[in-house]
């Protein structure tokens, strides 16, 4: 007589469209709650408890009022347009140069040996220290600001793109060459698409660094731009305006990083099936 074992219970597989992902939907609510708690504590510390002088550290209401004044007067729009122009030029040129440099560095051994130490050295260099020298070379105005934004963008994009290009699936490259693809076709149709998520990751990383470069350039060597609002307002003890301008920078950076984060997730899905 042989022992009988109970049949194994069938596994229940949850359809992919019904998977539970609680954190994905609760994260915005948690972020909003954190913001509300932070503003409430800020208000209590400055207004109710009077722990600091409001001349030097404004309340949330002071910041909101100053922001409304800057918007209604049109001052913020004018300075924001100047900042946006400098940032878009530097960021766009830096992104393009970073992609080209990264593709070459990640796929050509001689370029890797030549450029990678330079890129890592530049990444470790505080680019803010270059601002006085850039001003001496290019004079005051948009030139030094655009260069700072360019360098702050190009370096992280190049490093990330080089990582993606170096990790391209060898089987895809061999298959492309079997079908007669030349070197340029391999770059455009294999290496570049494979590196797209890395490129977007570099662009996301470059948003705060380029914003810092923009802010420093405007605070030191530009009569216009959002950075100049911070300098002029602080010199006149209008700290509400200074905090409002800083808040504009923070909001823009968070929005841009979030958009690039979503783009990175969408761009990287196809590689799982390669």
Per-residue model confidence as pLDDT tens digits over 197-253? 889 989 999 999 999 889 888 887 677 888 889 988 888 889 999 999 999 988 999
What is the pLDDT at residue 128? 79
SS3 32: helix
Lowest mean pLDDT among 20-24, 100-104, 182-186, 260-264: 20-24
Domain ranges of the chain: 58-269
Comparing 31-35, 79-83, 267-271, the range with the smallest average pLDDT is: 267-271
Percent over 70 (pLDDT), the chain: 87
- Range name among 16-20, 104-108, 132-136, 252-256 with the lowest pLDDT average: 16-20
Confirm if 225 and 218 have CB atoms less than 8 A apart: yes
Q: What local confidence, expressed as pLDDT, does residue 211 receive?
A: 92
The DSSP H or E segment spanning 80 is helix 75-107
How many other C-beta atoms can be found within 10 angstroms of the C-beta atom of residue 126?
Answer: 7
- Over residues 144-196, the pLDDT tens digits come to 899 999 999 999 999 999 998 888 777 777 777 777 777 777 777 787 888 88
pLDDT at 96: 96
Mean of pLDDT values over 120-148: 83
Note the pLDDT of residue 26.
Answer: 53
Q: Which residue has the higher pLDDT, 268 or 249?
A: 249
Residue 135 has pLDDT above 80, yes or no: no
What average pLDDT does the chain have?
82
Q: 21-35, 38-52, 126-140, 163-177 — which one is most confidently predicted on average?
A: 38-52
Query: What secondary structure letter does DSSP report for 29?
Result: H
Q: Which of 234, 233, 256 is nearest to 88 (CA)?
A: 256
Give the homologous superfamily in CATH for domain 58-269.
Answer: MetI-like (1.10.3720.10)
Provide the pLDDT for residue 144.
Answer: 87
Name the residue with tokens 């948690």: 30
| pLDDT at residue 274 tops 90 | no
- What are the C-alpha distances in Å from 36 to residues 33, 40, 100, 200, 251? 5, 6, 43, 31, 15
Say which residue, 33 or 12, is predicted with more confidence: 33
User: Cα–Cα distances in Å, from 213 out to 34, 47, 90, 130?
Assistant: 28, 34, 10, 10
142 and 80 in contact (C-beta within 8 Å)?
no
């Amino acid at each position: 007589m042989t022992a009988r074992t109970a049949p194994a219970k069938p596994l229940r597989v949850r359809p992919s469209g019904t998977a539970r992902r609680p954190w994905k939907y609760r994260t915005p609510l948690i972020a909003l709650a954190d913001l509300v708690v932070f503003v409430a504590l800020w208000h209590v510390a400055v207004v109710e408890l009077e722990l600091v002088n409001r001349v030097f550290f404004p309340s949330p209401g002071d910041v909101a009022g100053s922001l409304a004044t800057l918007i209604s007067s049109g001052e913020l729009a004018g300075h924001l347009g100047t900042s946006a122009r400098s940032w878009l030029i530097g960021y766009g040129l830096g992104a393009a140069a970073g992609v080209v440099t990264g593709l070459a560095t990640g796929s050509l051994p001689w370029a890797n040996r030549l450029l990678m130490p330079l890129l890592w050295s530049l990444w470790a260099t505080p680019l803010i220290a270059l601002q006085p020298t850039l001003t001496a070379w290019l004079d005051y105005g948009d030139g030094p600001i655009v260069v700072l934004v360019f360098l702050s963008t190009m370096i992280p994009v190049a490093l990330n793109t080089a990582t993606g290009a170096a990790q391209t699936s060898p089987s895809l490259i061999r298959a492309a060459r079997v079908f007669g693809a030349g070197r340029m076709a391999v770059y455009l149709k294999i290496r570049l698409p494979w590196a797209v998520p890395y490129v977007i990751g570099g662009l996301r990383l470059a948003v705060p660094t380029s914003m810092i470069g923009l802010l420093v350039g405007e605070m030191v060597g530009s009569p216009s731009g959002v950075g100049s609002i911070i300098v002029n307002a602080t010199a006149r003890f209008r700290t509400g305006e200074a905090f409002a301008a800083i808040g504009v920078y923070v909001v823009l950076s968070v929005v841009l990083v979030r958009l690039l984060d979503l783009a990175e997730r969408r761009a990287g899905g196809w590689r799982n099936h390669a």
